Chains A and B, each alone.
Chain A
C-alpha cells in the first residue's frame, strides 16, 4: 500500500523516471514517510492505552533491594519498554543511586533505554522484518546486560559527583493515575502529541538520509567497501554514529536503505546502535552526575560492545 502510494506520487504525479536516482529517492521517501508515521501514531496510541503508567518512580521501586542479577534483568527489561525523554536521565540516575541500586545496574538501564523501545521495535518489524528486529533487540539486551557488568568492574562510584550522594528523595506523593477508559484515551492522545513532537524531525531527517542513500549511492561502491569483507567498516560505522544524534526510530530508514544496497548486517546493526545509544548530548546530560573518566569509560565500553556485535553478525552472515 505504501509502496504503491510512493510509486503513484514519484512516477505518476511527478513523472520521475523509476530508473533515475531522483525517482528512486522520492519513491523511497514517500513510501517510508507515510508508512513510518502511520505506524508511529498507531503504536504510540495503543501503547498509551495499555501502559498502566510505568513511571520511573515505579521502576525504581521495582528494582530496589533485589539481588544483583534480578535487579539487572528488571532494569534492562524496564529500560527496553519505557520510553523516557533523555532529560529525565539525571533525576533517574540520582533516584537509582539514592535507592541503593548498584551503579552497574543503573548503567544497564541507561544503555537499554535509548536503544530499545516498543515504538522502535514495531517500526523495525514493519520496515525491516521480524528477523532483523529480533537480532537487534537481542544484541541490544546483551550489550546492556554485559555493558553494565563491565562498568561495575571499574568501580565507577569514585566518579560520581559528590552532591549526588547527599540528595535524599522526598516521600513520593504521586497523583493516582486516571485508569478509566476516558482517562487512558486522554493519556494516549497526549503521548502521541508529545512523542511525535519530539520525534518527527529526527524521523524525517532519517528518511531523507535514507532516501538519498537509496537513490544516489552506487551499488558497486557499497559492495566494494561496505559489504563486510573489510574489517574496518564496523569501527568506522560506530565512530560515524557518535556525532550523529538521532534516536532508535529515526535511524531505521537509514538502516533500511543501507541494507537494501547491500551493506553488511553487522555493520548496519553497529551503526544503528551507535546512533541511538552513543551521543554527545546524552553524554553532556550525564556529565551533571558523573565525571569525565566514567563518561569516557561508558562511551568506550559501548563502542567496543557495538563493534563486537557488528563483527559477530558479519561473521555469521
Chain B
C-alpha cells in the first residue's frame, strides 16, 4: 500500500492537498495510507522549506504549493 505524507504546519493549502490525495485515491479505487505531518522538526527533517509538500514512500515528490489534479492522480495510480 502506498504511504502518503502531507507536510505542512496546518495552513489551508495543506488541508486542500491532503483532501485532494484522499479523493483521487477514492476515485481510482486505490487503498492508500495518508498522514499529515505538522511538526516543524519533522517537516524540515525532509529538507523541505516550502509547504505544503508531499512525501510518497519516504521520497519527497512535491513541495511549495497545492499540486495539480492530474499530478495527484498520477501519484495515486503510478
Determine the chain A residues whose CB is within 8 A of the CB of B44 once the complex forms. Answer: 91, 94-95, 98, 167-170
> Is A229 an interface residue when CB atoms closer than 8 A count as contact?
no
Tell which of A56, A169, A171, A190 touches B50, judged by Cβ atoms closer than 8 Å.
A56
Report the Cα distance A191→B67, complex, angstroms: 10
Once bound together, how far apart are the Cα atoms of A170 and B46, in whole Å? Answer: 5
Whether A91 lies near B51 (C-beta < 8 A) is yes
Asked if A173 and B60 sit within 8 Å, CB to CB, the answer is yes
Q: Taking the nearest CB of chain A, how far is it from the CB of B75, in angstroms?
A: 11
Q: Which of B41, B45, B63 contacts A163 (CB 8 A)?
A: B41
A186 and B68 form a contact (CB under 8 A)? yes
- Chain A residues lying within 8 Å of B59, measured Cβ to Cβ, are 173
Residue numbers in B under 8 Å from A91 (CB-CB): 9, 40, 43-44, 48-51
Q: How large is the interface on B (under 10, 10 to 19, 20 to 34, 35 or more residues)?
A: 20 to 34
Which positions 6-63 of chain B face chain A at CB distance < 8 Å? Answer: 8-9, 11, 13-14, 40-41, 43-51, 59-63
Q: Is the CB of A55 within 8 A of B49?
A: yes
Specify which of A174, A194, A288 is in contact with B47 (CB 8 Å cutoff): A174
Which of the four size classes fits the interface of chain A?
A: 20 to 34
Q: How far is the CB of A3 from chain B (nearest CB, A)?
A: 35
Main secondary structure, interface of A, reads helix
Once bound together, how far apart are the Cα atoms of A297 and B33, in whole Å?
44
Q: How far is the CB of B64 from chain A (nearest CB, A)?
A: 6
Minimal Cβ-Cβ distance residue in B for A60:
B49
Q: Is the CB of A87 within 8 A of B51?
A: yes
Inter-chain CA distance A171–B48, complex, in Å, is 9
Q: Does A88 contact B (CB under 8 A)?
A: yes
Residues on the B chain within 8 Å of A95, using CB: 44, 49
Complex alpha-carbon distance, A60 and B60, angstroms:
18
Shortest distance between the CB of B5 and any CB in chain A (Å): 13
Residues of B within 8 A of A169 (CB): 44-45, 47
Cβ-defined contact, B47 with A173, below 8 A: yes
Complexed CA–CA distance, A91 and B14 (Å): 14
Instruction: Mark A202-222 against chain B: 1 for CB-CB distance below 8 A, else 0.
Output: 000000000000000000000
What chain B residues lie within 8 Å of A146 (beta carbons)? none
Q: How far is the CA of A174 from the CA of B9 in the complex (A)?
A: 19
Q: How far is the CB of B77 from chain A (nearest CB, A)?
A: 18
Q: Report A140-180 residues with CB < 8 Å from chain B CB.
A: 163, 166-175
Give me the interface of B with A, judged by CB distance under 8 Å.
Answer: 8-9, 11, 13-14, 40-41, 43-51, 59-68
- Using a CB–CB cutoff of 8 Å, the interface residues on chain A facing chain B are 55-57, 60, 84-85, 87-88, 90-92, 94-95, 98, 163, 166-175, 186, 189-191, 194, 288
Instruction: Add 17 more A-B contacts to A167-B45, A174-B63, A175-B60 (CB < 8 A).
Output: A55-B63, A57-B49, A57-B63, A84-B50, A87-B11, A91-B43, A91-B50, A163-B40, A163-B41, A166-B41, A167-B41, A169-B45, A169-B47, A173-B60, A174-B60, A175-B63, A190-B65
Jot down 22 A-B pairs with beta carbons below 8 A, ordered by A.
A55-B63, A56-B64, A57-B48, A57-B63, A60-B49, A84-B50, A85-B11, A87-B8, A91-B43, A91-B48, A91-B50, A92-B49, A94-B44, A167-B44, A170-B44, A170-B46, A171-B47, A173-B46, A174-B60, A190-B68, A194-B13, A288-B40
